[in-house]
Amino acid sequence: MDRRKFVGAIAAAAGSAAPLPAAQGGKPVREKPLNADYWGPQYYDQQERQHLNEVLDTGRPFRWYGRGSQPPMKVATFEKEFAARMNTKYALAVTSGTAALETAMAALQIGPGDEVIIPAWTWHSSATAVVRAGGLPVFAEIDESFNIDPKDIEHRITPKTKLIMAVHLQGCPADMDAILPIARKHGIKVLEDCAQSVGGSYKGKPLGSMGDISIYSHQLNKTITAGEGGAVVTNDPVLFERASRFHDLGSIRGLHGGIVGKPVLDVFVGANYRMSEFTGGVMLAQLRKLDRIVGDVRSNARRVYDGIRDLSGIRFRHLPDPAGDLGTAVFIRFNTKQQREKFQSMMRAENVPVAPPGGSVVMPVLPYIVNKVTVHPDWPTWTSPRGKSIKYGPATCPRTLDILDRFAGPAIDPKYTTRETDDIIAAIRKVYPAVV
């Protein structure tokens, strides 16, 4: 008998052995798989219902005017309270996070020839908004926070670089203290894409309050939701005016004109991304619950971290500001993809499923990016000499691909009971030592 087996036998005899993992014939931690749910709808109640009924009963579904002498106020009130919550001067409600990104591109006047630095791991819209504006997406590697690696930004800056997108992915704030000085040094703007981290913070500041302009999504998978929806925030009155005009066919309405004081821009070609009063009403009710939802998910995540932190050798996703993290998931780091996959299959056997980083895609390896496919062959993004010469594909983001292969963890639901977070802890305590 070697020493390890000997010590194990002694421990077993003393009744203190770690329980046998289900994958090795032990009893699973849970009888049925643990299932994380969408957050926002779990908090729907009389408040959302009342706003919807008011819009129906008054017959006023459009934000700018309708029956009666006073303008409808659901979207307007949502904008006012959202700006206050995010600690910014202005907020504009729009129809989606993607619409918010396209509106932000317009506000910043991103266009043909302009380059935008984006993390290689993000949601499609971060890059497609740049392409649809005619600009060129340039991808930077992520680090072990799964956010853009601040050390991989500077060498990608050219005289044409106009913007850096700091995307706060899967609940975790990007390292703004490292990103903002790089942008300032080169005279480049910063956009915070907070779609996956609505309600999170960085060193006490709300996500979205640090960049030149920021966007949020209220799609089902995000913190608060009306199914679809989005918002743009900024402290700059001209960026807000251009955003408001772009989202409403080039004009600025009385309410927003009054908010900026004196409009300074002429009418230009815009789009229609206006939010309806139904969406505005649901979002207003959800916004008033944001701090509760964030508090619930954070405390569940903290409980799981605290329950496994002492495991020998365990390492987690890098959190640039642990207190600001939403707690969307608790990601554990492995040395190899094989270990990560063994962890996943053993956790599945415990009926406590875990998943790799999710909700985003490795943009530079997508065929439509590699092959530079746009709706029109003369689209300006990839027809310039620089656009023609830029290469995408897996060789441009090896570290991103490696990092995403080596992490997995449980999603955290704000409504998990103590029993459910205990099950997550128990399963990881059983499985992790058997994997590494």
| Site residues for ligand PLP per CB under 6 A | 96-98, 122-123, 125-126, 167, 193, 195-196, 217, 219, 230, 359
Q: Compute the distance between CA of residue 360 and CA of residue 347 in angstroms, rounded to an integer.
A: 23
What's the closest the beta carbon of residue 315 comes to ligand PLP, in angstroms?
A: 25
> Which of 139/432 has CB closer to ligand PLP?
139
Q: Could you tell me which residues are beta bridge partners of residue 205?
A: 202
Q: What is the DSSP string of 81-148?
A: HHHHHTT-SEEEEES-HHHHHHHHHHHTT--TT-EEEEESEE-HHHHHHHHHTT-EEEEE-B-TTSSB
What's the closest the beta carbon of residue 428 comes to ligand PLP, in angstroms?
A: 26
Which residue's beta carbon is nearest to the bound ligand PLP?
A: 97
What's the closest the beta carbon of residue 366 comes to ligand PLP, in angstroms?
A: 15
Give me the residue label for tokens 């505005």: 280
Phi, psi at residue 51, to the nearest 5°? -60, -45
What's the closest the beta carbon of residue 58 comes to ligand PLP, in angstroms?
A: 27
What's the closest the beta carbon of residue 86 comes to ligand PLP, in angstroms?
A: 16
Whether 222 is catalytic: yes
Q: Which of 143, 186, 136 is nearest to 167 (CA)?
A: 143
Residues 6+ apart with CB under 8 A from 334: 340, 343, 406, 407, 408, 435, 436
Q: Which of 84, 71, 77, 70 is nearest to 51 (CA)?
A: 77
> Which of 170/421 has CB closer to ligand PLP?
170
> Which of 97/364 has CB closer to ligand PLP?
97
Query: What letter represents residue 387's amino acid?
Result: G
What's the closest the beta carbon of residue 96 comes to ligand PLP, in angstroms?
A: 4
**Residue 327 backbone zone (phi > 0: left; psi -120 to 50: alpha; other: beta):** left
> Which of 98/381 has CB closer to ligand PLP?
98
Alpha-carbon distance values, 360 to 174, 211, 310 (Å):
15, 21, 30
Phi, psi at residue 212, to the nearest 5°? -70, -35
Copy the structure tokens of residue 325: 């993290």
Q: Which helix (H) or strand (E) holds 75?
A: helix 74-85
Longest pairwise C-alpha distance within the chain: 88
> Which of 196/276 has CB closer to ligand PLP?
196
Catalytic residue among 74, 162, 189, 222: 222
> Which of 166/431 has CB closer to ligand PLP?
166
Cite the active site residues: 222
